[in-house]
Amino acid sequence: MFTVNLVTQVQLRLPEKMIAEIDCWVAKGRFKSRSDAIKSILTLYEEREKTREFYTLLLKRSEEAKKRPEKLVPLEEA
């Protein structure tokens, strides 16, 4: 079974300086198009946010481990 990824077109307003930078990346071959660059940037942002959430969870679990060392191991000791 496969999933269908629906694509929606959106209008985006960006400062000319940002567009020039994206165009430079496309010209250098880092991305296939402006659209590809923006999608990649958004994906990286999403991954960063997930990493941040995971790190916050790890810190919380480490604090819990300090309070209950018989059940959990603090990050500093791992």
pLDDT tens track, the chain, 78 positions = 677 788 899 999 999 999 999 999 999 999 999 999 999 999 999 999 999 999 998 888 878 777 776 666 666 655
Rounded to the nearest angstrom, the gap between the alpha carbon of residue 25 and the centroid of all alpha carbons in its chain is: 19
Please report whether residue 4 resides in a domain.
no
CA distances from 20 to 15, 17, 30 (A): 9, 5, 14
pLDDT attached to residue 63 = 80
What is the number of structural domains in the chain?
A: 1
C-alpha 14/C-alpha 23 separation (Å) is: 12
Please report whether residue 49 resides in a domain.
yes
3-state secondary structure the chain: CCCCCCCCCCCCCCCHHHHHHHHHHHHCCCCCCHHHHHHHHHHHHHHHHHHHHHHHHHHHHHHHHHHCCCCCCCHHHC
pLDDT attached to residue 76 = 63
Residue 44, domain extent: 16-77
